[in-house]
A and B are shown apart, each in its own frame.
Chain A
C-alpha cells in the first residue's frame, strides 16, 4: 500500500472508534522497522476482551475488536459471550472469527445450537463455520438442512458436509444429486467430490471411485462433471488410463482440457506409454498440445515418440516436440536436432538450436565436440554456436581454428563463441586473427575481444597492449576499447601512451577512454593523475574538458580518499571549472562529501540561478546525514535557509521540514 494512502487510513482509524490496540498496530505500519520491532503481540488473557463483550456500554467497534483478541486468547469461558453475538447482524461475523479459532469443543456445541436459532445469512455463516471446523457431530443437523427451503442454507449445508466428509456425509449428499433443486445441486456435487477426495486420501479407493463416477453421471453442472472425471481418473491410477484417453479423444473442448490437465498428473509408466502412443495418433493441433503435456510430465519414457515427432511433420508439432526434448532429451537427440537446425524454416531452426543448447548431460557436450571436426558449412556453424552457448570450453582449441575457416558463417560463429567463453589465451588468439582479418570482420572480433577482456580483466592486457601499437589505426582503436574493458595498470599505461598517438582520431579516443576510466577499482585510481594533467594542459580544449569531467567523476566516486582529501582535490581543480556542465559535476561530487567545506561551497553555488536547483538538492541531501563533520548548527541552519529560499518543490519542502526539526 502506498505510504501516503496508508497514513490517510491511519488518520481515519484514529478518528474512529478504534481500540488502542488496533490503532497502535495500524500506525506501526508506517513506522520504521526498528520501532515496529518494539511492539508485537506480547500475549494476554481473555479477561479484558471478554469484559468488553459482556459490557452493556461497549461500542460495537470495541466488541468487534475484542472478538479479534479472543480469536487468539479466548477459551471455553469466552464461548457463551461469543455465541450470544451469532444472531447480531453486525457482530456475528466478528464472533465467528473467534469461535472458529477457539479449539475447545464448546465452540462446536455453540455453533450447533445456533443452527437451530438463527436464520438466513446468519445461519449460512454458522453452517460455514461448522464446515471449517469439520464438526462431525453436526452431520445429522446438516443433513436435515440439505432440504431447507432457503437454497443458500441448503447449499451451505452441502458444502459443510463435503468438508466434514466420511460415510455419513456422503450418504446424506449422494441422493441429493438427483433430488436437490438446481440451485443447490452444484454444492451437493461439490460436497460429493470433496467426500470422494477424502475417501481416497484415507485409503478407501473403491468408495472414492464409486462416488466420483456417480457425480460424473449425475445431472450437475459441467464443471462438477469435469472435476469428478479428473478425480475418477486419478483415483483409478493406471486403470484410469482408458478414461483419460477418452477425454483426450473427446470432441468437447472442456473434456479435452481436463484430459490435458490430468495427463500431467496421472503418475506411472503405463500412463506415459499410453499418452505417448495417443499423441502419435492425434491430429496435429492436438498433437502439439499433447507434446506440451508430455513435456510437463517430464518422463523420458516418452522420448522415442517425442523424438520421432521432432524429426518430421507439421512445423508447430516439431517445435512442440523439441520443447519436450528440452525437458528430457539426451545425446541421442543430437542428430535430429542438428538436421533441423540447418533447415530453411527459421523458427524451426532456431528452436532446434535452442533445444541443443538446453539438452542436459555432459555426453551431449562430448557428442557435439566429436562432431565438430567432421562437420562442415552450416552444420559446423551450428555446432560452434551451440558449443559457445553451452560453454563447452574443451572445444576452444577447435573453435580457434575455425576462426580462420573458409566459410564466413563459421568464422563469425567461432569469433562469437570465443567471445562467449574465451579467456586470456583466446584474447591472444583473437588478436592474431584480427591482424589477418578483413576489415568487415573487425567489428565481430572487437566485440569478442571486449567481452573476453571484460571477463578476463587485467590478465588480457598483456595480449592487447601490442595491438595498441599496430600499424593500422583501426586496430589501435580496437585495442583501446578492449583495454578499457580489461582495466588494470598495464591497460591504463597503454591507453595513456595512445594519448600521444600519431593519429588524431586515436588520440581523441584515448582521451575519451581515459575520461570514463572507472575509479572504483583500486588500481584504476591511477587514471586520476593523467586526467588532471590533461585537464590542465592538453592541447585541445575538448581533451581538457573530457579530462576534467573524468577527473571530477573520479573525485566523486573514489572510496580510497577521505572526505577532506576529496574536498581538497575539488578545491584544487576549481580554477579549471568554468562551464555550468562541469560545475554541476562539482556539485554532484560535493553532495557526497560530508564536510563543512563542501556545505559552504554548495551554498555559494546556490547563489547562481542556473545551478540553484542542483545545489539546493545537494544541501538537503547533506543536511539529512546524521554526522556531518565539523558543521555547526548555525552553518547548517544557514545552508538550509538558502535551500528553502532558492529551491522549489520537494527540495524546498524538505529543507523547510529540516529547518523546523532543527528548531
Chain B
C-alpha cells in the first residue's frame, strides 16, 4: 500500500519537478572536447573495431557502435557464414564500401594490427576465453554479458586486463542508464540512511545443464564451424538445436541458470549501490520462499527475488536504508519512499539502450581509463552470481573467503569454482 501510494503520488509529482536540477551528480563523465576533436590517444586517430560472434544482440550493439562518428568497423568474425555475410552487408552499407573483412576464426581477426578494439557478442560460452585472447593480442574489448562461466574465469578476466593494460567493458549497460545511476547515487550518498538491503531480480534460480543432444549431420565448416562454435565447451556432436542461444555457458553442463544471466545485470547494480564494486557477498543462502539471500561483509543483505516488484519494467532493483528506499527498472521510472528523494532525477530513458555504455567504453579506449563495467567490476559481480548459483545448486549455505577465493569448509563448492576448457583452448 505504501509503495503504491508513493508511486502514484510520484506520477503527479513528476509533472511538478520537471528538471528541478540534477542535484545528485552522476559519476565523472568525460566531455567530448577533452578527447580532442577527432578523438584517439592521438586525436587524429579513429577507433578501429572488429566484431566477434555478431548475432541478434551483437547486431544491436554494433548498430550503436556504428552511430559513433569516431568508430570504423573493419572486420567481422563468426562461425556461421550467414552471420558473417549479414554483418558485412550492414557495415558496407554504412560506409558505402565493400571493405569489411570476414573471418571464421577469431584469431585471424585478432592478429590484425590495424584493429584497436573488438565487440564480443558470441554466446557466453566464448565470452571470457575470447575476451582474454583479445586482451593478450592487444585489443580493447566490449564484451556482452554474462562475461564469465565461473569464478576462476572471473578472476582470470580481471587479472588479464590489469596485466595487459587493455580496456574492458562488460555489457552491463544499466551502469550507464540514468535511472539506475540515480538510484545508486541515492544509496551511496546516504540519502536512504544506512543501507541494509539491496534487491535484485535474477528471473529464475534453477541451476541447469546443457547436456548432450542427439547427433545430426554436420554442415560444411564454411557454413557452420561446429568445432569453433563449441570452442572451450566440452565436446558433443553437432545438433542444430544447440546452435543458437546460451547452450554452453555451463561448460560441460553443471552450474548455470537465471541467477547469472540476469544477475550479471541486476546483481551488478546492487554491488554498485552498496559500494561493493571490488568485493562480493561473503555468505550465501539457498532459496527459501522464492528468494535467495546473500550478505556482504559490511552487513548489507543482497536478496535475489522474483516477487513483489513495482511495475517498473524488467531488471528491477531496490535499495533499502533505514531512512528510505528506492526502486527502479527498465521502464525508466523510479519509485521512492519519499518524493523528495526523486528531486533532480533528470530525463527518463525507457528500455535499456546501450549507447551511453558504448560511448563510455570508447572514451576509455582513448583515455585508457576504466569504464563503469570494467573487468574488475565484472569480475566481482560475476563472482557474486556464480557463488549464489553454487549455493542454489548445492542447496546449502556457503561462506566465501574473499582473499583466498574459496568457499570455507566446503570441498564440493570449491570444485565448482572452475571448469576445464576443451583443448586447445586456455585462458
Which residues of A are interface residues toward B (Cβ below 8 A)? Answer: 1, 5-6, 8-9, 12-13, 15-19, 21-23, 25-26, 28-31, 33-34, 36-37, 40-43, 60-61, 64-65, 67-68, 71-73, 89-94, 96-97, 99-103, 121-122, 124-126, 128-129, 131-132, 152, 156, 159, 186, 190, 193, 197, 221-223, 226-227, 230-231, 253-254, 256-258, 260-262, 264, 285, 288-289, 291-293, 295-296, 315-316, 319-320, 323, 326-327, 347, 351, 354, 357-358, 385, 388-391, 416-417, 419-420, 447, 450-451, 453-455, 484-485, 487, 516, 518, 520-521, 557, 559
Contacts and interface: CB of A to CB of B under 8 A. Distances in A.
Contacts of A16: 211-214, 239
Contact of B415 (A71, A132, A296): A71
Contacts of A289: 34, 41, 366-368
Given A122-B423, A293-B367, A454 B12 contact: yes
A68 B163 CA distance: 32
Interface in B338-395: 339-340, 343-344, 366-370, 392-395
A364 to B, nearest CB: 13
Interface of A is mostly: helix
Interface stretch (B3-11, B65-73, B77-85, B318-326): B3-11
B33 A347 contact: yes
Contact of A257 (B43, B165, B394): B165
Given A12-B242, A22-B253, A72 B412 contact: yes
Given A124-B423, A128-B426, A293-B367, A257 B41 contact: yes
B139 to A, nearest CB: 9
Interface in B1-22: 1, 4-5, 8-9, 11-13, 15-18, 20-22
B215 to A, nearest CB: 9
A447 B16 contact: yes
Nearest to B213: A16
B422 A484 contact: no
Contacts of B214: 12, 15-17
Contact of B165 (A19, A227, A296, A454): A227
B419 A97 contact: yes
A131 B394 CA distance: 28
B206 interface: yes
B235 A89 contact: yes
Contacts of A261: 165, 368
B210 A26 contact: yes
Contacts of A419: 20
Contacts of B392: 36, 40
A25 B206 contact: yes
Interface of B: 1, 4-5, 8-9, 11-13, 15-18, 20-23, 25, 28, 30-31, 33-36, 40-43, 45, 136-138, 163-165, 204-214, 234-236, 239, 241-242, 244-247, 251-254, 257-258, 261, 286-288, 290, 306, 339-340, 343-344, 366-370, 392-395, 411-412, 415-416, 418-426
Given A22-B253, A285-B43, A347-B33, A8 B241 contact: yes
Given A25-B206, A37-B286, A288-B35, A125 B424 contact: yes
Contacts of B30: 292, 320, 323
Given A12-B242, A29-B257, A347-B31, A93 B343 contact: no
A16 B251 CA distance: 18
B415 A121 contact: no
Contact of B419 (A25, A71, A320, A323): A71
A256 B45 CA distance: 14
B370 A296 contact: yes
Given A29-B257, A68-B253, A296-B370, A93 B412 contact: no
Given A67-B252, A128-B423, A453 B16 contact: yes
A28 B41 CA distance: 50
A226 B251 CA distance: 33
Contact of A41 (B1, B287, B395): B395
Contact of B164 (A5, A34, A227): A227
B212 A18 contact: yes
Nearest to B286: A40
Contacts of B412: 41, 43, 72-73
A264 B369 contact: yes
A416 B25 contact: no
B206 A389 contact: no
A40 B394 contact: yes
Contacts of B422: 93, 125
Smallest CB-CB A-B distances: 9 pairs: A125-B423, A40-B395, A450-B16, A223-B138, A36-B206, A93-B422, A454-B13, A260-B368, A29-B208
B277 to A, nearest CB: 14
A258 B165 contact: yes
13 contacts: A9-B245, A12-B214, A15-B213, A25-B206, A101-B419, A253-B45, A260-B41, A262-B165, A316-B31, A326-B28, A390-B23, A416-B20, A454-B9
Q: Which of B163, B288, B344 has the most CB of A within 10 A?
A: B163
A41 B391 CA distance: 10
Nearest to B393: A41
B206 A33 contact: yes
Given A129-B420, A261-B165, A320-B30, 19 more contacts: A6-B245, A28-B206, A29-B207, A33-B290, A37-B205, A40-B286, A97-B234, A128-B423, A258-B368, A264-B370, A285-B43, A316-B36, A323-B34, A389-B23, A416-B21, A454-B9, A455-B339, A520-B8, A559-B1
